[in-house]
Structure 1
Amino acid sequence: MSGIDTATAATTRTGAVGSRRSGGRRPARTDAAVGLAFVAPAVVGVIGLGLVPFGFVIWFALHDWNPLIGEFTWTGLDNFTRLAGDDVVWGSLLTTLAFTGLLMVLNISLALFLAILLNQRLRGITTFRAFFFSPVVVSTVAWVLIWGYLVADNGGINGALSTVGIDGPNWLRDATWALVTVVVIQVFKGVGMNMILFLAALQGVPPELKEAARIDGAGAWRTFRSVTIPLITPTILLVSIVTMIAAMDVFVPIQVLTSGGPGRSTTVISYLLYQTAFRQNDFGYAAAIGVLLFVVTLALTLVQWQSRRRWVHDEV
């Protein structure tokens, strides 16, 4: 009986192992299929809404296209040759880079400062978090229109300044102040999203590391600089890339507030693209400007991505 029982137990174990092995293969295939099913909509979206339209943009840039007169003529690289010698385009690109640099510095600095403040355990702090985040969900056009009234020559901001004896400038009609004003308006519109990202990163810093630094004699500033900042550098990289891409493509505040003026002081390249296409009806040249905008944005993104090995924590 013992021999039969032993043989039966061995057979049972062998079958169980075999069933586990065979069952292990099916879940692996199932997991792969489920993973592909989840990824497929995003891949289809990127191809259908990103790569294919961009392919058409390149195709249009190789033509002289005016839809009003039905003209669509192959010109090869003529639009790009024209682009290389167009001072207006390069001036707009410099304005775009100035806008982007100033916005990134103000937005990221303010977002990190607010995140540090809102990371405190204080009563009512959730209300303040919602308050600072609320502009993110407000319509961009509505937000810009309200600010347009506030920064007008006789608007609320100059009215408040006049009460303390300060004669404020015409913020949107002064070539010196117009670009800075638009940057500040855009910073307040989007700082809440970056603030939330930084807040999540700060809350993910292990408290035992900060406690160890304090035990070693590090003060609050040294702990923040040597412990907190290195651990949130991946979030800083993410925020800087996302903020840069959004700033390079800014359009609504320029269109609503300044129309590229005064002069061309706020004519960023995305607004110049709009003017070229829909006011001058030169869609082929506008497509070439769009390709230039994409190339510059991609180059700046790659520069930030490649630099991560030097300053992002855990990157090798």
Structure 2
Amino acid sequence: MAQAQLVIRSGETPPSGSPRSPRRRRYDREQVITAAVFLAPALVVLAVFVFYPILAAGQISLTSWNGFDPVQPFVGLGNYQRLAQDPEFWNSLAVTVGYALGVCVLSVVSGLAIALLLDAPLRGLGIYRSIYFLPVVTSSVAAAIVWRYLLDPSGLVNSVLAQFGIAGPDWLQDRYLALGALTLLTVWKNIGFNAVLYLTALQALPHSIYEAAGLDGASGWQKLRHLTIPLLSPMTFFVVVQALITSFQAFDLVYVFTEGGPRGGTDVLGMFMYRTAFRLGDFGYGTAIAFVTLALVLGVTLVQWRVTGSDGTER
């Protein structure tokens, strides 16, 4: 402080890097204006198509609107209180949680396994990569229809089992078998995307640590367990979050594959919300279900982020 006063009293110009520099303030203003100009179009799009719909949906969730009546009777938190007492909601939540856990675990295991295979020096590697990525670009409706035919009592799966003397069950009429089949369908649909994510992360790992581990006598399994898996933890965190969001937003596969049946065995939150809002015409209650789903996804993601850390490493 004394040095700054001495400089000012002596009539010298403050250095350009000092906080009082007019040039520094001018540069800061120019940077803020430039950033605002470039961010304005994106912010407008977000405001119109993201923020405003969320606020409007929040307002609808506090009403008993049927979707057509110009009057939206205000009920406050009545829809949320109704959710807490609705056994159908709790069944849907339990189904969604079980479905999400299965999808998360199998997505990580299958994605990493396929990535390790694709990272090996194989002939025709590009063909294999295309084959594994093919389900990602396949229509969800088409994939669900094909799987439904495959799991039909007279379909291909039961026909193959019959060749070994095994009587195949009616897969989509048992609530647990149907949920397991839906989980496998979802993992199969996204396996190529997860494999590409893991493959990208694998190819970015430094080879020097593997060479050092090899000189120390580490086996392939030890390298995988103590080097590869820990180094891939940030990507694993991303894959789990993606699988979690996919599970809680699931609708198209469920709608075509099982329509939420049998007896609510695959009635995930997305299906429950659609049926409430668009089939029963209770848009206020359906929007409340959507907001609870959003809160659950955000809550689980934040907890996982807190536990693993922002860089994906476990604390």
Q: For residues 61 and 74 of structure 1, do their structure 2 counterparts lie closer, same or farther at Cα, with a shift above 3 Å needed?
A: same
Match of 2:204 in 1: 204
Q: Matches of 1:225 and 1:310 in 2, distance apart?
A: 22
Amino acid at match of 2:230: P
Q: Matches of 1:27 and 1:174 in 2, distance apart?
A: 67
Match of 2:223 in 1: 223
Match of 1:165 in 2: 165
Unaligned runs of 5+ in 2: 1-22
More displaced 10-residue stretch of structure 1: 71-80 or 178-187? 71-80
Match of 2:90 in 1: 90
Instruction: State whether residues 64 and 71 of structure 1, in contact with CA within 8 Å, keep that contact through their aligned partners in structure 2.
Output: no
Q: For residues 204 and 25 of structure 1, do their structure 2 counterparts lie closer, same or farther at Cα, with a shift above 3 Å needed?
A: farther
Q: Matches of 1:217 and 1:302 in 2, distance apart?
A: 40
For 1:174-193, list aligned pairs within 5 A: 174-193=174-193
For 1:115-126, list aligned pairs within 5 A: 115-126=115-126
More displaced 10-residue stretch of structure 1: 90-99 or 25-34? 25-34
Unaligned runs of 5+ in 1: 1-22
Q: Matches of 1:264 and 1:311 in 2, distance apart?
A: 38
Q: How far does residue 31 in structure 1 lie from its aligned partner after superposition?
A: 7.0
Instruction: State whether residues 273 and 290 of structure 2, in contact with CA within 8 Å, keep that contact through their aligned partners in structure 1.
Output: yes
Q: Matches of 1:29 and 1:125 in 2, distance apart?
A: 52
Q: Matches of 1:157 and 1:145 in 2, distance apart?
A: 14
Instruction: State whether residues 65 and 282 of structure 2, in contact with CA within 8 Å, keep that contact through their aligned partners in structure 1.
Output: yes
Match of 1:111 in 2: 111
Match of 1:261 in 2: 261
Instruction: State whether residues 63 and 72 of structure 1, in contact with CA within 8 Å, keep that contact through their aligned partners in structure 2.
Output: yes
Q: How far does residue 44 in structure 1 lie from its aligned partner after superposition?
A: 3.5
Match of 2:63 in 1: 63
* TM, length-normalised to structure 1: 0.86
Q: Matches of 2:106 and 2:183 in 1, distance apart?
A: 9
Q: For residues 155 and 24 of structure 1, do their structure 2 counterparts lie closer, same or farther at Cα, with a shift above 3 Å needed?
A: farther
Please report the RMSD computed on the Cα atoms of aligned residues, expressed in angstroms.
2.5
Amino acid at match of 1:72: Q
Match of 1:155 in 2: 155
Q: How far does residue 67 in structure 1 lie from its aligned partner after superposition?
A: 3.1
Match of 1:306 in 2: 306
Q: For residues 222 and 73 of structure 1, do their structure 2 counterparts lie closer, same or farther at Cα, with a shift above 3 Å needed?
A: same
Q: For residues 73 and 310 of structure 1, do their structure 2 counterparts lie closer, same or farther at Cα, with a shift above 3 Å needed?
A: closer
Instruction: State whether residues 108 and 191 of structure 1, in contact with CA within 8 Å, keep that contact through their aligned partners in structure 2.
Output: no
Q: Secondary structure at the match of 1:177?
A: helix
The C-alpha deviation readout for 1:214-236, integer Å capped at 9, x for no partner, is 11121111111112122111111
Match of 2:195 in 1: 195
Amino acid at match of 1:130: S
Instruction: State whether residues 158 and 168 of structure 1, in contact with CA within 8 Å, keep that contact through their aligned partners in structure 2.
Output: yes
Q: For residues 195 and 283 of structure 1, do their structure 2 counterparts lie closer, same or farther at Cα, with a shift above 3 Å needed?
A: same
The C-alpha deviation readout for 1:226-278, integer Å capped at 9, x for no partner, is 12122111111111111111111100111112111111111111111101111
Q: Matches of 1:218 and 1:50 in 2, distance apart?
A: 51
Q: For residues 44 and 195 of structure 1, do their structure 2 counterparts lie closer, same or farther at Cα, with a shift above 3 Å needed?
A: farther
Amino acid at match of 1:202: L
Q: Report the count of equivalent residues.
A: 295
Q: How far does residue 299 in structure 1 lie from its aligned partner after superposition?
A: 0.4
Q: For residues 34 and 124 of structure 1, do their structure 2 counterparts lie closer, same or farther at Cα, with a shift above 3 Å needed?
A: farther
Q: For residues 309 and 177 of structure 1, do their structure 2 counterparts lie closer, same or farther at Cα, with a shift above 3 Å needed?
A: same
Amino acid at match of 1:145: I
Amino acid at match of 2:235: T
Instruction: State whether residues 107 and 239 of structure 2, in contact with CA within 8 Å, keep that contact through their aligned partners in structure 1.
Output: no
Q: For residues 164 and 33 of structure 1, do their structure 2 counterparts lie closer, same or farther at Cα, with a shift above 3 Å needed?
A: farther
Amino acid at match of 1:309: G
Instruction: State whether residues 230 and 312 of structure 1, in contact with CA within 8 Å, keep that contact through their aligned partners in structure 2.
Output: no
Instruction: State whether residues 62 and 78 of structure 2, in contact with CA within 8 Å, keep that contact through their aligned partners in structure 1.
Output: yes
Q: For residues 31 and 117 of structure 1, do their structure 2 counterparts lie closer, same or farther at Cα, with a shift above 3 Å needed?
A: farther
Q: How far does residue 24 in structure 1 lie from its aligned partner after superposition?
A: 11
Q: Matches of 1:103 and 1:152 in 2, distance apart?
A: 23
The C-alpha deviation readout for 1:154-187, integer Å capped at 9, x for no partner, is 1111122212222111111112201101111111
Indicate the percent of aligned positions where both proteins have the same amino acid.
Answer: 36
Q: Matches of 1:121 and 1:149 in 2, distance apart?
A: 36
Q: For residues 225 and 146 of structure 1, do their structure 2 counterparts lie closer, same or farther at Cα, with a shift above 3 Å needed?
A: same
Q: For residues 38 and 182 of structure 1, do their structure 2 counterparts lie closer, same or farther at Cα, with a shift above 3 Å needed?
A: farther
More displaced 10-residue stretch of structure 1: 177-186 or 30-39? 30-39
* TM, length-normalised to structure 2: 0.86
The C-alpha deviation readout for 1:68-90, integer Å capped at 9, x for no partner, is 55552111111111111111111
Amino acid at match of 2:225: R
